[in-house]
């Protein structure tokens, strides 16, 4: 028996779409930035090269099947696909739509609405707006729910206490969010569902002590990364000057994973169902260059520490709520993944299986 339900966040940006062709060049996918990455400092592990699954294309059904089989074999319950909805317009929807329509792979899933504006941050142009996230009002929310209803009713959809698990990446940005969630719950019951299990994603904007219930959510999860610069936590003027100089020389913010593990470990929040979120590794310099954040010396052993801490937190949770969020399954250009690569192979997956099973 598994000690917890591990749900892995899943990025669908591994196939070309017309919008990315226009913004970044024909054929752009997540692999574009991943493959062209170069080391920016001594012993910087770049580029990251996939092994078992290769440089895949998510339009290929065999790839989606192989991913699911790999995740299942190592104790992961299902994928939480990032879902993009811009006032009725969908982006990167093809992989999940094909999973839903085909019934394959036979592997559990849920959705996380990544409701942020798309900018040019990946190419060092954060002020360049590519696709703005807007919230036109009630009719749009109704259309959004209706679009998702077939997914919610699928037998593979992950549920908590009989209700579909649906996460929202930036809950604080949706106007009248409590009313929106109440509307969706009402529509869900009218459609024959028991309701919806809404999960808000914690962030610096919400603060460490935010209560999901205050915005109408049932639960939360909070990805934790160290401060952008070491000097923020060390309060040392010499470090501050050093890192400013590194920035001028073209260096990203660099942290030794071992030394900041206390900042990354999941934390218990009194009176709140806050699902522990584990982060195996991080290096988003393929996207952000010298503006990126790097965790050096990440290892499967450090992931095990996060899982152990997560299980401690979940001790008092109900069986249905014993959930760990894995960030992420395949965020390759953020250096944030557990899919096999040439350096570690399946070691991160083995760490999950060893601690969970």
Q: 143-160: per-residue pLDDT in tens?
A: 999 999 999 999 999 999
The answer to whether 215 touches 178, Cβ cutoff 8 Å, is: yes
CA–CA dist 228, 112 (Å, integer): 25
- Return the pLDDT at 235: 42
Q: How much is the pLDDT for 231?
A: 40
Counting Cα atoms < 13 Å in the Cβ hemisphere of 63 gives 16
Task: Using 50 as the pLDDT threshold, list the residues of the chain that sit under it.
Answer: 230-236
Contact 109, 150 (CB under 8 A): no
Tell me if the pTM is above 0.75: yes
Rounded Cα distance between 118 and 125, Å, is 11
Peptide bond into 105 cis (omega under 30): yes
Cα–Cα distance, 96 to 102 (Å, whole number): 10
Residue in the block written with tokens 């036109």: 136
The answer to whether the beta carbons of residues 8 and 328 sit under 8 Å apart is yes
Paired with 6 in beta bridges are 76, 324
CATH topology of domain 5-226+261-290+298-356: TIM Barrel (3.20.20)
Burial class (CB in 10 A: 0-12, 13-18, 19+), 220: buried
Instruction: Assess contact for 338 and 280: CB atoms under 8 A.
Output: yes
Give yes or no for a contact between 268 and 317, defined as CB atoms under 8 angstroms apart: no
| Sequence spans of domains, the chain | 5-226+261-290+298-356
Residue 319, judged by CB atoms within 10 A of its CB (0-12, 13-18, 19+), counts as: exposed
Question: Contact, 147 vs 85, CB < 8 A?
Answer: yes
* 81-133 pLDDT tens trace: 999 999 999 999 999 999 999 999 999 999 999 999 998 765 656 678 899 99
Q: Is 46 helix (H, G, I), strand (E, B) or coil?
A: coil
Q: What is the spatial distance between Cα 187 and Cα 179, in angstroms, rounded to a whole number?
A: 12
Give the H or E element holding residue 78. strand 76-83
């Amino acid at each position: 028996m598994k000690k917890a339900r591990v749900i892995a966040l899943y990025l669908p940006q591994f196939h070309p779409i017309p919008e990315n062709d226009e913004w970044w060049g024909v054929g752009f996918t997540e692999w574009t930035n991943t493959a062209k990455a170069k080391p920016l400092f001594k012993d910087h592990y770049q580029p990251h090269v996939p092994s078992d699954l290769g440089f895949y294309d998510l339009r290929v059904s065999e790839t989606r099947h192989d991913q699911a089989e790999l995740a299942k074999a190592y104790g992961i319950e299902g994928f939480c696909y990032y879902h993009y909805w811009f006032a009725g317009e969908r982006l990167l929807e093809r992989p999940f739509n094909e999973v839903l329509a085909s019934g394959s792979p036979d592997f559990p899933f849920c959705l996380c609405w990544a409701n942020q504006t798309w900018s040019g941050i990946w190419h060092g142009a954060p002020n360049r707006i590519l696709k703005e996230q807007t919230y036109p009002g009630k009719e749009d929310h109704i259309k959004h729910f209706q679009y998702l209803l077939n997914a919610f009713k699928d037998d593979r959809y992950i549920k908590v206490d009989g209700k579909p698990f649906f996460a929202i990446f930036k809950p604080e940005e949706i106007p009248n969010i409590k009313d929106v969630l109440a509307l969706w719950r009402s529509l869900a019951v009218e459609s024959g569902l028991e309701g919806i299990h809404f999960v808000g994603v914690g962030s610096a904007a919400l603060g460490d002590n935010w209560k999901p219930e205050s915005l109408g959510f049932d639960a939360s999860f909070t990805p934790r990364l160290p401060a952008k610069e070491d000097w923020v936590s060390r309060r040392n003027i010499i470090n501050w000057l050093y890192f400013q100089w590194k920035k001028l020389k073209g260096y990203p913010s660099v942290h030794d994973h071992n030394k900041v593990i206390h900042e990354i470990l999941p934390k218990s929040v009194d009176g709140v169902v806050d699902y522990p979120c584990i982060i195996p590794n991080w290096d988003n310099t393929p996207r952000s260059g010298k503006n990126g954040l790097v965790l050096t010396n990440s290892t499967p052993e450090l992931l095990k520490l996060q899982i152990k801490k997560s299980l401690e937190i979940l001790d008092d949770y109900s069986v249905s709520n014993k959930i760990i969020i894995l960030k992420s399954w395949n965020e390759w250009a953020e250096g944030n993944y557990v899919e096999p690569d040439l350096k570690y192979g399946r070691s991160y997956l083995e760490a999950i299986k060893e601690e969970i099973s």
